[in-house]
Amino acid sequence: MSVATLAEVLQPALRHGYAVAGLVTLGWEDMRAYVAAAEAEGAPVILQAGPSCRAHTPLPVLGQMFRYLAETASVPVVAHLDHGYTFEECKQALDSGFTSLMFDGSRKELSQNIDETAAIAEMAHAAGISCEGEIGFVGYSGGENSAGTDPDEAARFARETGVDAMAISVGNVHLQQDKQGGLDEPRIRAIEALTSVPLVIHGGSGVPVAQRTALAAGSSICKFNIGTELRMAFGAALRAAVDRDPERFDRVTILRETHDPVMAAARTVIRALGASHRKD
């Protein structure tokens, strides 16, 4: 049984200079491929159920899927709620077997974000699981603009919420399809100087791979969320499978052909973060 909490996989990453991949799931095919990739790399993995995933599949079902994969895996697997927006949603995830809750109060005024995140963290810790919060706002490609994380506010947020991990806004953007951007390293260093909480980068697909690798090894960033580039790999594999034989209609047969390409893409992500085959 390899069910793990977020703290259980991020604290070793913080101590030993690597990062764990938070892989955004949309269905059985990709989450299964992600766990297979983690096993092949001998690395922990964080399976993430975000809002679009939850709109498609109810939380109690996702909890069972995540737990099944974790309990049969040879590596630590975290069942993580990504961008929970209400206390009730986070409570439902906890009751559904999730081992980590990410509460997103980043659109709210600082004091309200702190108070609401602290309540989620208290609930999570009482149940023996982890909590991630967000300070600053990570925007969306083609949508809402980001608001960079203030280091002093980050220090206060970490201190007053008791979160196990803290998502920050340092030039990262959700849903970015290219890697032409880059993170604001001076801002990261300023945040690191004021808090020892493991840091999280949402929108990791837009971060150049070399920078991911360097920051995983040499900063307090212990978790990179990766979704878009893996969805692109899945989409390309699915399109190729459909085009290969337009007469096929059995979706199980078609979807089976996405497994190896998505697994390979996830292995590349995990390896770049320095998490493969760790002995520490």
C-alpha 112/C-alpha 126 separation (Å) is 21
Tokens at 140, concatenated: 């969306």
Angle at 231 between CA 164 and CA 229, to 5 degrees: 70
- CA distances to 13, 172, 178 from 140, in Å: 27, 9, 13
Burial class (CB in 10 A: 0-12, 13-18, 19+), 63: buried
Residue of 207, 268, 271 whose CA lies nearest to 233: 268
Active-site annotation holds for 250: no
Exactly one of 30, 82, 104, 164 is catalytic; which is it? 82
Segment (H or E) for 201: strand 199-201
Rg (CA), the chain: 18
CB 43 within 8 A of CB 270: yes
Helices (H), ranges, the chain: 6-16, 28-41, 51-56, 59-71, 87-95, 110-126, 151-161, 185-192, 209-218, 228-244, 251-256, 259-272
- Give the closest residue to 27 by CA, choosing from 3, 50, 4, 11: 50
Cβ 269 vs Cβ 230: under 8 Å: yes
Could you give the residue numbers annotated as active site? 82
